[in-house]
């Protein structure tokens, strides 16, 4: 299986024994240290016992177990894994219909939209429409515009729009 039952049983046992020891008068800090050591040992042993799934059939078997033995869902998850690859992202959403479906979306998806409603250029559609903008992709949080100032000055000279896509923006 996927290990969820094993993880739950181990977590319960660790919690139960830790609570029993603290109730019996053990130092909670020492119990925590012992739990940390036990967790490290458990993780190491689970890594020794585990094996990587190799093909779509094995992925479907593990997914089926995780889906309460629902083979249809297991097959759907295996299809999704096959299509996005091991580094891809799979998002499961509740649907309004009774059918299960798989939609593969190429590219990127953002959890948030534009930073300010003042960026809206089309109020009817509530969208930002830019014509042939420069695009700056920033894979971190922007905390200061000081680092971006040289780029911003160069782009301002062209008179073109700039679309900044970043993990987050804070401060200025």
Question: Which residue in 105, 53, 99, 110 sits closest to 80, CA to CA?
Answer: 105
Other Cβ atoms less than 10 A from the Cβ of 64: the count is: 19
pLDDT of residue 6: 83
Tens digits of per-residue pLDDT, 83-110? 998 888 888 888 888 889 898 887 766 7
Considering the entire predicted model, what is its pTM? 0.53
pLDDT in tens, the chain (172 residues): 667 788 899 889 989 999 999 999 999 999 999 999 988 998 999 899 888 888 999 999 999 988 889 999 999 999 999 999 888 888 888 888 888 989 888 776 677 778 888 888 888 988 888 999 999 988 888 888 888 899 999 999 999 999 988 888 887 5
Rounded-to-integer distance, Cα 152 and Cα 73, Å? 48
DSSP per position, the chain:
--SHHHHHHHHHHHHHHHHHHHHTT--HHHHHHHHHHHHHHHHHHHHHH-----SHHHHHHHHHHHTTT-HHHHHHHHHHHHHH-TTS-------SSS--------S---SS--S-GGG-SBTTTTB---SS-EEEEEEEEE--TTTTHHHHHHHHHHT--EEEEEEEE---
Residue-level pLDDT at 114: 80
């Amino acid at each position: 299986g996927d290990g969820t039952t094993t993880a739950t049983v181990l977590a319960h046992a660790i919690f139960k024994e830790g609570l029993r020891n603290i109730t019996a008068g053990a130092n909670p800090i020492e119990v925590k240290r012992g739990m940390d050591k036990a967790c490290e040992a458990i993780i190491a042993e689970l890594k020794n016992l585990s094996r990587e799934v190799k093909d779509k059939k094995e992925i479907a078997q593990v997914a089926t177990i995780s889906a309460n033995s629902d083979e249809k869902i297991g097959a759907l998850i295996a299809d999704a894994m096959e299509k996005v690859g091991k580094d891809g992202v799979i998002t499961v959403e509740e649907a309004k219909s009774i059918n299960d479906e798989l939609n593969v979306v190429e590219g990127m998806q953002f959890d948030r939209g534009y930073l300010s409603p003042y960026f809206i250029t089309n109020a009817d559609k509530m969208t930002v429409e830019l014509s042939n903008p420069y695009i700056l992709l920033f894979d971190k949080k922007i905390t200061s515009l000081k680092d971006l100032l040289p780029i911003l000055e160069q782009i301002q000279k062209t008179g073109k729009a700039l679309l900044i896509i970043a993990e987050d923006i804070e401060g200025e």
